[in-house]
Amino acid sequence: MEDDHRTPYADDALRVENGTQPEEIQEFVRRRALNPYEFDDLIIWDFNNHALNAEAIQTQADDFLYDEYVIPYQASGVWGYMVTLLPERIQQTEILTYRQQEGTYNPYPNYLRHSTDKANNELRSELAAKLRERDI
């Protein structure tokens, strides 16, 4: 099945391999954080390796509930590190993912923004205590 909506790799794609150094990831984050995609009042920080489908964004822009979004890096282990490098404004921005089959973007909540520090800290403490109990 051919996928007409697949976007090519961006010119500055970050291919993470076993020897990739933190400085390479940091430079990628710097570049992408300082150069968001802007359309009307919409700002999108794109950390994905694939080129943004600007036509889809422009078509859907009026349907988005928020004015700022982030498109995460596709490898979750790398994205977890990238998030720690970002200023809070970008860390807490709502999420967009691309649906290649439809050629559309799917917004969903950023749970860093929609959870409380208290609940997060309580869970973190509970897990740490249980791991200590199990000597892990």
The model's pLDDT over 115-130, given as tens digits with 9 standing for 90+, comes to: 999 999 999 999 999 9
134 exposure class (CB count in 10 Å sphere: 0-12, 13-18, 19+): exposed
* Residue 46 domain flag: yes
Closest residue by Cα to residue 103 from 40, 46, 47, 56: 56
* Residue 7 domain flag: no
- pLDDT of 1 reads 43
* Residue 83 domain flag: yes
* Residue 3 domain flag: no
Cβ burial 63-91 (10 Å sphere, 16+ → b, else e): ebeeebbbbbbeeeebeeebbeebeeebe
* Residue 74 domain flag: yes
What is the total count of domains within the chain?
A: 1
Mean of the per-residue pLDDT values of the chain: 93
Distance CA 58, CA 63 (A): 10
- pLDDT of 9 reads 85
Quick: pLDDT tens for 70-104: 999 999 899 999 999 999 999 999 999 999 889 99
* Residue 113 domain flag: yes
* Residue 15 domain flag: no
Q: Which domain holds residue 44?
A: 22-133
Quick: pLDDT tens for 24-51: 999 999 999 999 999 999 999 999 999 9
* Residue 14 domain flag: no
